[in-house]
Chains A and B, each alone.
Chain A
């Protein structure tokens, strides 16, 4: 029931400690100031020292209680604790010496009092940083002074980003290796928090290594602690970064390995270091993540969507919460180009339109011109012949056009030539595919299909 007493007393430690501090300072003061005939202070000094001892002991006890009841790790408090105890002991020693010799002018006493003073300061400081935090004092200092002490606030770092076309010029260390360190190692190896005395923040610090010596071996990369630690099995306690931290990608590891292998160059660029494309390929900022246009559009309300749906269209966003739409008539066989009007006011948003197996005819292309973001258009198994293809040039984003099993002929197909974006046209089972297509040149790839598989003797052998 009263188990709160212990922690409570413990909590008084920060208060109690000030008593010994006071008394000890008092005692030292009396001992060394004023200069002349201190002997008359002797009783006072003795009393001061006596109380110093008593209170110091109290401080120690309360301190120990605090330590046990608040789950501090020994490692964190050990210095403060040891010094604290030491202080108390020295204090005691001094008291008896003074009591015995009835003077204060023996070298022993001088030494002890000096020690006492020193320990008191240290213990006090350590205690302070325990309660107020390591950087309690530094925090208030101006930035420059701080960084002189090696303290910097938390900062975001960008991952590696290489330009697909000019990656060779990128600097191996600055643009690749350092970002890897920033992403994976920096949070524990920076000035503020340099675990194992290792800083992975600059050429100098990297070359300097940690308290267990350098991390980069000049001779060979296998020997380099840096690489070795990162490639140890995850469960190995020396593995870096620690198991529970974010682990570097294998591509990143490869690059570090290659960097070390090529003698850890700090100035070379990737080309000079002889880095091959596939090594860095994963880090290219993909110039185009998706074939669909990157446009900012107001997304269409669910009410509108459901109305379109009720008409029989299949319609949904391309991706969750995307303003780009995918529309198909898969459940709407009776669709004809007039129904397209239902989509006019959202034509901007539609990037995928599938009108296959519907009743559309060539009129459709005219109505399609407002669909400026249309990227994929499917008209398979319809009666379109392709007259009016020229309108599709207005759909400047059109990349794929599916015309399988339609009436499209070569002549009309030519209308599409010179389309800005158009990449692929599928024209299997069309009049076009039957005609001599090969003669024709297109500004896009055309799939006429008509694949066949030869009849082989083995097809009919049963073993």
Chain B
């Protein structure tokens, strides 16, 4: 018997062994996110994804993909490709059955991959970009035996770049010529050509390259250069956008960004302050200013538009922008349906929306809430009023007051009024009640205030306004007379009521004509009056209060969170339609990304912490990728705006992860440190020449076997020209300026504003200070691919058009610059050739070649003879400038004009 047992056992063992071997000895696992997902996205997802789920089948989420489909069979049977409908349908010959439906079939390769994947159990992988950034384990020893210079040891960036180069049989180009390198790094960091001093120190070898970089990073121009990049993301502009597109004062935010860059504000702080500065513990004025980031959304003043609709539009834009800027994720699609490609669900979009849906701004004409910047005098008044309030009332009262002074919240806007009788919302903006008119202002919580503040204007005296609780029969809460006045905020005694009530507002003024508004009211607010009425000097205090209230001060739209009694509910919008409310949602961050820390408050501030949490997989990667793109003209992930599963396979994942990790942990989010790390790399310092062979191998410079060579940005083009011609004003900050612009550019509906050329220096300020009108931005910037800043733009597409030539050839700004450059040349030497050589050198930081000099001198001679023959031309040329020109100077101007148009000048070497 035992023998038999033994054999039995043996056989069982054998069977198990075989089974085990079969299951575990699976060579070359298919990787889902790099091999399978792309195929699904390419061929299947358009019909079986977030938008459509044909046949009840979707390959968007694991559970969907493995679930039973309409037909009752699961399309994917893990481990059993042959019986998986998904595979079967790929082989079908009946065109009605064969997938992709009525499209060309998959390649055998693709089918094989899917087959293998299902065989291996159809494991769902997570896209690399959604895994937290891990500390990279690299030993700086070359991984493979390269065919060239494998002896060299590279560290950091260069190491990773070099590894890839070897895979592609490429290698580094030599280092760029020192002056060109100087020009490159200077334009990249400061947006300007280097100063004389810096040139000397560098060329005389007084400073090392690293010191050079530090000098550049320390200069205040650094902030100005990088601000214009960030402002594209922040969709910063000086007008509100949409139809009327009138001006708004936003520039204080622009200045904040410049300062933030210059003082190297760590990126996490930088983020938190812009997203939720107002929610930080007793925020500073600057932290309030930072929140203007999300007040850059457009504001629609067009008559007949419903404010709520555009408030919602703004909120959604904030969600989309936040995710594009910090997560390189296009959320816009999730607005209407689950994301077609990335693991974000429809409701998750609105859970994010919930974070942003509770700010006070309501697309009102006055763009409240706005931070108010008081003059010294007013500030004194405020302190005295506050101290009075504090001493006679209590702390809380004083704080409420100070908030109200700072940003006038909380208040109820007129557009909340409804059920008009003999009344209207004037141009859908202001409450206008006619004689014997009335309306309701519902769900008002006065917090038991004994005083109502109201901003209004009126063309008539003696309008009696009565406010009752509930309705026409309700108890009178306040009754007063409105007289003729320009816009003013006044206070009226108000009967204490508690809880949320409906106000019935009624006016009478027989003097007014029928259907004529007695007044135009902007908002109502309920603020306790100063206590200590009995006290000596109360009246003065009260007057101070009102004078501050009505003092005209500079303002800036900012974010202020709704107080508890004004909280809005957030709903899913069915099919993205804001009128179709689905189930209610609470603030929550997407599943696919990093976990939520319960200690964070469940609002914008929490969201900001979540974004800047070191566990967040996308924030640092996104930022590093963008900076890299700024310096190399191409991101490590080329689709800058989207790092999701659709983005093309990144060329250097390890490098991206390495930099991202260090950016957070080693560099503590220091933007300057990051930029420095990149620009001191060998990779950055290479020559940018392209040999035909090299071009063949790598047209887009994907493997960085040469330095970056990119046309300068709109801002750089202008700033550089002004710099080399010595016209550039280094004045910083302040309201947008209006340099020369041809007439008749500004043509907007219902908008009296016009372009008034700035005086003196302001004509020649750096581009970042140029007034930007969304519906018609500064023409020459647009021509050089700058945007209109209506929505967040994370990458400008560099184009090359004849209109650009026209700008640099004919725009008076550039002619003027040419003239001033010519003067500089003229001073250098009387000998034209020398003068031209100097001019050329100032512009290119490179000595002129014999050929170039030959051509330009030729041009000079031709121009000279021309001007000698017909000097009247000179006078016309002079009209651009003030002084009288000599033929020589004229000729030099023409030459300068040519120099300023050379490709080398318009391009980063």
> B-contacting residues of A (Cβ < 8 Å)?
4-5, 7-8, 70-76, 154, 187-188, 243-246
Contacts and interface: CB of A to CB of B under 8 A. Distances in A.
A154 B93 contact: yes
Given A75-B72, A187-B97, A7 B47 contact: no
B23 A4 contact: yes
A76 B72 contact: yes
20 contacts: A5-B19, A7-B79, A70-B80, A70-B83, A71-B66, A71-B68, A71-B73, A71-B74, A71-B76, A71-B77, A73-B68, A73-B71, A73-B72, A75-B72, A76-B73, A187-B94, A188-B96, A243-B54, A244-B54, A244-B55
B102 interface: yes
Chain B facing A: main interface SS: loop
| Residue of A7, A71, A74 with highest tally of chain B CB at under 10 A | A71
B19 A8 contact: yes
Contacts of B47: 244
Nearest to A75: B72
B72 A187 contact: no
Interface in B1-40: 19, 23
Given A70-B77, A76-B72, A243-B54, 10 more contacts: A70-B83, A71-B68, A72-B73, A73-B71, A73-B73, A154-B94, A187-B97, A188-B96, A244-B54, A244-B55
B72 A74 contact: yes
B576 to A, nearest CB: 18
Given A72-B73, A73-B73, A4 B19 contact: yes
B11 to A, nearest CB: 14
Interface in B71-123: 71-74, 76-77, 79-80, 83, 93-94, 96-97, 101-102
Q: Which of A7, A8, A243, A244 has the most CB of B within 10 A?
A: A244
Contacts of B97: 187
Interface residues of B, number: 22
Interface string B556-592: 0000000000000000000000000000000000000
A244 B71 CA distance: 12
Contacts of A75: 72
A152 to B, nearest CB: 12
A373 B101 CA distance: 39
Contacts of B71: 73
B562 to A, nearest CB: 39
A73 B75 CA distance: 11
Contacts, number: 38
A180 to B, nearest CB: 15
A75 B77 CA distance: 17
B102 A246 contact: yes
Nearest to A183: B96
Which of B23, B55, B68 has the most A CB atoms < 10 Å from its CB? B23
B84 to A, nearest CB: 8
Contacts of A74: 72
Contacts of B55: 244
A154 B92 CA distance: 10
A15 B888 CA distance: 103
Contacts of A7: 79
Nearest to A184: B96
Nearest to A155: B94
Contacts of A71: 66, 68, 73-74, 76-77
Contacts of B94: 154, 187
Nearest to B72: A73
A173 to B, nearest CB: 22
A313 to B, nearest CB: 21
A219 B96 CA distance: 33
A245 B71 CA distance: 14
Nearest to B48: A244
A288 to B, nearest CB: 28
A244 B79 CA distance: 27
Contacts of B73: 71-73, 76
Nearest to B69: A73
Given A70-B77, A70-B83, A76-B73, A187 B19 contact: no
Interface in B780-797: none
Closest 7 pairs between A and B when the two form their complex, measured CB to CB: A73-B72, A71-B74, A187-B96, A244-B54, A71-B77, A4-B23, A154-B94
A76 B66 CA distance: 18
A71 B86 CA distance: 13
A71 B57 CA distance: 14
Interface centre among B47, B66, B68 (most CB of A within 10 A): B68
A79 to B, nearest CB: 14
A246 B96 contact: yes
A5 B101 CA distance: 37
Contacts of A246: 96, 102
A70 B77 CA distance: 6
A146 B101 CA distance: 29
Interface string B464-503: 0000000000000000000000000000000000000000
A243 B19 CA distance: 44
B83 A245 contact: no
Contacts of A70: 77, 80, 83
A245 B96 contact: yes
A446 B741 CA distance: 51
Nearest to B67: A71
Contacts of A76: 72-73
A168 to B, nearest CB: 32
A71 B83 CA distance: 10
B909 to A, nearest CB: 32
Contacts of A154: 93-94
Contacts of B83: 70
A76 B80 CA distance: 17
B267 to A, nearest CB: 43
Nearest to B76: A71
A75 B71 CA distance: 10
A394 B881 CA distance: 65
Contacts of A5: 19
Contacts of B77: 70-71
Nearest to A192: B94
Interface string B425-446: 0000000000000000000000
B21 to A, nearest CB: 12
A131 to B, nearest CB: 10
Nearest to B79: A7
A66 to B, nearest CB: 10
B120 to A, nearest CB: 12
A8 B23 CA distance: 10
B792 to A, nearest CB: 36
Interface in B130-168: none
Contacts of B93: 154
A187 B102 CA distance: 14
Nearest to A244: B54
A70 B121 CA distance: 11
A167 B66 CA distance: 51
Contacts of A187: 94, 96-97
B10 to A, nearest CB: 19
Contacts of B72: 73-76
Contacts of B19: 4-5, 8
Contacts of A243: 54
Interface string B39-77: 000000001000000110000000000101001111011
Contacts of B101: 244
A178 to B, nearest CB: 17
Contacts of A245: 96
Contacts of A72: 73
A187 B101 CA distance: 14
B904 to A, nearest CB: 27
Contacts of A73: 68, 71-73
A65 to B, nearest CB: 13
A244 B56 CA distance: 10
Interface in B576-613: none
Nearest to A71: B74
A19 to B, nearest CB: 16
Nearest to A187: B96
